[in-house]
Amino acid sequence: MADIPDVKTFVEEWFYGTPLERLTRHDLRRWLAYVFYSDDVPTDCPKYDWTAIDAMVDQLYIRAGVREPLAAEGPLYSSNPCIRHTLDEFECAERPLIAYVVTMGMDVLAALVLAQVGFERHVVGTGCSYWYRGGSTPKMSAEDPSEDPVVFVHGIGAGLLMYIPMVLRMAAECRTRQLFLLELRYVSMQLEANVPSQDDTLGAISHMLAAHGVTSAHWMGHSLGSVVCSWVCKDAPQCVSGLTLIDPVVFLLCRRDVAYNFLYREPTTGLQVIMWYFVVRTSQELHIAHAIRRHFWWYNNILFPEELPRHCSTNEVAASIFLSSCDQIADTPAVHALLQRGVQANSPDEPHAPIRVTMWEGLTHGESLLRPHYYSMALAALHT
């Protein structure tokens, strides 16, 4: 809760703006049961530790400065809806056949381009695949991070074709380095219904790195790709020598912003309409909706500043974060403020470790991919 300055607003946002004064203990119990257990259970179910949940409810009322409604003032059950995206019913639709033909054609085109510049496609595990290009002088030592292999993870959309201009520049600038392009086909409109679990994905990544003699790499993720990077940072930190995130969605996931903006919000401004059509509308595609609505758990995906990688010799934070000021999905001003505070030191006498964070003024989510000036800044972070 240290990163939540306004507890009252924080809770009310999860309840679609319902004032906290109107929320009963049953409402908050049901919400917290979902937040921590991803389950919809009666608030008297003996399966869970309701004593701990009640203690959290007490703290919410206290920290928000709100008096708990008396039992006589409200119903004895949960009556106010809250955001529960992995349980809520949702609208989705398969695209017309021609749409899938087009996206599959885009996938083939991307494959042809990648093959021309030396990449080869590999399949590992169930539903996991990647493209690999060997470097001219592969180096696995962490003493020189500018020569470490690079692993890039794309976001939601039409796969790697959207990233081809950036990938081509990356390949040109990193000729001596091994490059990996991890594919998330289940969010690429490829009629892929299988969504590998976090454990399956990490297992596939372990096999991928081992197959090419790599022990540590610089990880780079865009949008949803930052989730995979978050998993690796937390579960396999020894595999991360550096981290670059563009439009990340993994910070402050305890807040409702990412879930609400991507899955629930109706557009009200011209910019939101544009973003809804090109980004949010994508989330309603059948397979993408299934992946996000039923396989996105905030507590697995969230990344805290303290979990960012450190340089092995200097102990500096080995991460560069790039945010878009007009991002319509994440609350980038709040994320920027969080990251600018740096990584909290173990001792109160020690200063916080700074994090390299850049705010791109005027850009929306994903717009940097269309502007060489901006994605070149992100690529430059691979050499630091």
Calculate the alpha carbon distances from 250 to 207, 231, 255, 301, 331 in Å: 25, 10, 11, 6, 11
pLDDT at 305: 96
Domain 97-383 coded CATH 3.40.640.10:
no
Beta strands at 120-124 and 128-133: parallel, antiparallel or unpaired: antiparallel
Please choose, from the candidates 220, 249, 250, the residue with its C-alpha nearest in 3D space to the C-alpha of residue 153: 220
The per-residue b/e assignment along 194-232, b for 16 or more CB within 10 angstroms, e otherwise, is ebbebeebbbbbbebbeeeebebbbbbbbbbbbbbbbbb
Burial 158-180 (b: 16+ CB within 10 A, else e): bbbbbbbebbeebbeebeebbbb
**Domain boundaries, given as residue ranges, for the chain:** 7-73, 97-383
Amino acid at residue number 194:
N
The Cα 160–Cα 172 span in angstroms is 17
What is the reported pLDDT for 158?
86
Measure CA 364 to chain center: 16
5: which residues sit within 8 A by CB, 6+ positions away? none
- Lookup: tokens for 362: 């005027």
* Average pLDDT per consecutive 10 residues, the chain (384 residues; last block may be shorter): 83 95 90 87 69 92 88 61 90 76 92 98 90 76 74 94 97 97 92 90 97 97 98 98 98 95 77 58 76 92 97 93 96 97 80 94 94 98 92
Radius of gyration of the chain (CA): 22
3-class SS shares of the chain: helix, strand, coil, % to 5: 45, 15, 40
Two tokens at 127?
A: 């539903």
